[in-house]
Amino acid sequence: MTDSDEALIEQIKNGDLNAFEQLIARYETRVYTIAYRYVGNHSDASDLAQEALIRVYRSIGAFRGDSAFLTWLYRVVTNVCKDELRRRARQNTISMDEMLERGQAPAVQTAEKPPEEAVLRKEWQEEVQVILNSLSEEHRTVVVMRDIQGYSYEEIAGFLECSLGTVKSRLNRARNLLKERLLSRKDLLLGRACQTS
Amino acid sequence: MNCSQIQEMLSAYIDDFLDDFEKAEVEKHIQTCAICQQELIDLRHTVSLLRSLGEVCIPEDFHKQLMERIDKGPPADMVNKHKAVKPRYMKSGIWMQIAAAVLIMGIGVGAWAYSENGPLHSYGISSAPREKFQERVALKEKSISTAEQNKPTDSSGGGITSDTARTDENIRMEDQSNYLMEGKNGQEQGDSNVENDNVGQPLPNQVAEPAEVLLGRAAPASRKVQDKVMPGQQSAGQVEPSQTNPGPDLGEDIAQPFAAADLPDGSKSREQADVVDPENVSSPPLVSALKAPAATGEVEEGIPEIASQEQVELNSETTRDEITASQSGEAGKNEVLNEGSTGSIEKRTELVEPDVIPDSVSQKVEKSDIQAATADKSAAPMSEAGSDSVKSQGSSVRSQSKWLIPSVLAILLLFLAEVAFKHFRKRQ
């Protein structure tokens, strides 16, 4: 018999680390995937996902159960990733070599390569992620929040501390950029089967 | 609506985030515009592609690393308690901004309160520095007025401030010297002993206390001497670049009398000595005479007479000692005595540290020039009139500076109010 999230949370509050391990095992893949969509590489995604889960463990005493644990967990992950992307946007010191090393090369460069070769080199999802990574942190954040995590405009405005109009225009711009870059990769846009793990 | 406006709304249209009017406009336009229709299709494909992205495999060691990091960290309970205790407002930077603003205001208020015009000017400062501070203010005013007087009187050959005004100045200067002397007694004593030994005075103890005696008791009268008699000589003796070093603004004022006193033939000193009229002066020019040690015989010979008057008027032990020594000394020793006395006078000059109160030095120098030119006091009213005009200018400057700090504080208050307003508006 598996314990509910609420029961595990109560155990965690009492200092039961095993309960936390059980709870995390249910959601860590989702947490990791969200982090990966935000930052676009496995190394950073691993660090951010772990950071978010550690923050969940350490602040679980503040969780009062007003919302579902998954909703609260997503908010924590989103805040961690959003802060990281904001920090990167402020620094804006990532060199082109570092971008290439992290697989963040602009989509235009990827698109110039032969599609077959590129597809053979990487999985379909990774190719889409590369195009996603070509967006700025600002645009990527709003796209991931809306189209990956499914947040509403109001929730996104709350996360980003901006107006609904800003969310609307920013999301429109980000989607159009993605559309233009995906159109150069018809194979991706037509939709291969999602290779989920 | 044109295509551009419609395409701007397609993203929100997909999310059904348009109002009824916009939604109707988009649907109406799409039915008639193939381009925008294709745009909508492509955009839908893009969004559906993003939403179809599945989960990503986590690294194999992800879970292990996570649990290791949690084990290394502090217990959850402690962190939770810490988090619970920490109020939410502490997370925002508003309080840091307010604290910074208050800190800046505090510094500003403090600086103003302890400034010359501030209400706490008399607190937190010991009495001697406070008096010295007030004297510096007075001296600055005087030096300005004296500088103004100097130009017209030099050309006209007359014009000295009234005796009363000069006496006040002298007292202030002497008090400053007094204050400065307190920390230098030991050193001055040593110097005095050496120099008095050279003179042959057998009373080192009496001479050894010039730091206080010379400048404290004997000084008020000797200051009169400085002012009323022999300003050129006085300044010549006092103004030694290494000792006074009054600053760049005083360099010219000092250089002139210094050069005059250094004339080998002593012509300048002789002229100044001629001006000296012991009868018109309440105190004899002991300081001035002593300040010109190698000048002329006229000056040297005048010393005993002057000293005797000073002895009567000042009733100062130290001065009396010096005078006694000079009177009892033989004629051949006069020069030696002058040298020794000059040493004591130079000590006084040293006490008036120019970097502390440079205005006093310039004042002496400028005043000396005036007095060397003429001892006529009839021009005093004119000089005072000029002094008043300068004072009025100085007071206007001070009144302007009075408003400076309140203005800065007002700006800071506005900044604080703006920050608080933004904060509360944001919370609403």
Is residue A111 domain-shared with residue A60, that is, in the same domain?
Answer: no
Residues A108 and A177 in one domain: yes
pLDDT (0 to 100) of residue A185: 75
* Cβ-Cβ contacts under 8 Å, B5 against chain A: none
Query: In this complex, is the C-beta atom of A56 within 8 Å of any C-beta atom belonging to chain B?
Result: no
Confidence of residue B148 (pLDDT cuts 50, 70, 90): low
Out of A75, A93, A111, pick the residue that ends a domain: A93
Q: Which of B24, B48, B34, B41 is nearest to B3 (CA)?
A: B34
Q: For residues A196 and A112, state if they share a domain.
A: yes
> Across residues B394-422, what is the average pLDDT?
74
Matching residue, tokens 């995906």: A182
According to the model, what pLDDT value does residue B338 have? Answer: 46
Residues B270-288 have pLDDT tens digits of 444 444 444 444 444 444 4
Cβ proximity of A157 and A164 under 8 Å: yes
A179 or B217, which is more confident = A179
Banded model confidence at residue B36, pLDDT cuts 50, 70, 90: very high
Task: Tell me: pLDDT of B423 over 80.
Answer: no
Partner-chain contact A195 B54, CB within 8 Å:
yes
In chain A, how many domains are there? 2
Question: Are residue A118 and residue A79 in the same domain, yes or no?
Answer: no
User: Both A54 and A136 in a single domain?
Assistant: no
Q: Are residues A121 and A81 in the same domain?
A: no
Whether the complex's predicted ipTM surpasses the cut of 0.85? no
Say how many CB pairs under 8 Å bridge A and B.
141
Q: Tokens 């971008």: give the residue.
A: A99
Domain final residue pick, A39, A58, A93: A93
Q: What is the mean pLDDT of residues B356-379?
A: 45
In terms of domains, do A118 and A176 share one?
Answer: yes
pLDDT for the residue A167: 94
- B32 versus A3: the higher-pLDDT residue is B32
Return the CATH number at A117. 1.10.10.10
Closest CA to B212 of B361, B325, B320, B316: B316
Among A58, A73, A93, the domain-final residue is A93
Residue of B nearest to A143 (CA): B50
- Name the one residue in this structure whose structure tokens are 């404290």: B216
* Terminal alpha carbon distance of chain B: 36
| More confident: A54 or B355 | A54
Top residue of A9, A38, A175 to mutate, by most chain B CBs within 10 Å, is: A175
What DSSP string runs through B69-121? HHHHS--HHHHHHHHHHS-GGGTSTHHHHHHHHHHHHHHHHHHHHTSTTSTTT
Residues of B in contact with A13 (CB under 8 A): 76, 80
Asked whether residue A171 falls in the same domain as residue A147, the answer is yes
> What pLDDT digit, counting tens, does each position of B156-207 carry?
444 444 444 444 555 555 555 555 444 444 444 444 444 444 444 444 444 4
pLDDT < 70 positions in chain A: 1, 92-123, 186-197
Nearest to A29 among B42, B58, B66 (CB): B58
Q: Give me the domain span that covers residue A134.
A: 95-197
Long-range contacts, B205-211 (Cβ 8 Å, 24+): B206/B317, B206/B318, B206/B321, B207/B318, B207/B321, B207/B322, B207/B344, B209/B185, B209/B318, B210/B318, B210/B344, B210/B347, B210/B348, B211/B181, B211/B182, B211/B184, B211/B185, B211/B347, B211/B351
Torsion angle of C-alpha atoms B295, B299, B300, B303, degrees rounded to 10: -140
Which pLDDT score, from 0 to 100, does residue A183 have? 86
Kindly report the CATH number assigned to the domain that includes residue A72.
1.10.1740.10
* Boundaries of every domain in chain B: 3-51, 127-378
- Which of A179, A186, A195, A197 should be substituted to probe chain B, the one whose Cβ sees the most B Cβ atoms within 10 Å? A179
pLDDT score of B368 more than 70: no
Q: Which residues of B touch A (CB under 8 A)?
A: 7-12, 15, 17, 42-43, 45-59, 62-63, 65-67, 69-71, 73-77, 79-81, 83-84
pLDDT (0 to 100) of residue B83: 45
Residues A36 and A73 occupy one common structural domain: yes
More confident residue, A125 or B255: A125
User: Percent of chain B, pLDDT > 90?
Assistant: 8
Task: State how far Cα B123 lies from the chain centre.
Answer: 18
- Selected residues 97-136 of chain A with any CB under 8 Å from a CB in chain B: 125, 128-129, 132
The answer to whether residue A18 neighbours chain B at the CB level (below 8 Å) is no
Instruction: Say which of B47, B50, B55 has its CB closest to residue A33.
Output: B55
Give mean pLDDT, residues B249-274. 42
The DSSP letter of residue B208 is T
Summarize pLDDT for A127-160 with one digit per residue, the tens: 888 899 999 988 999 999 999 999 999 999 999 9
Cross-chain CB nearest to B50 (options A29, A143, A172): A143
Q: What is the pLDDT of residue B421?
A: 80
Tell me, yes or no, whether A79 and A114 share the same domain. Answer: no
Q: Is the pLDDT of residue B236 over 90?
A: no
A32 touches chain B (CB under 8 A): yes
Judged against a pLDDT cut of 70, whether residue B392 lies above it is answered with no
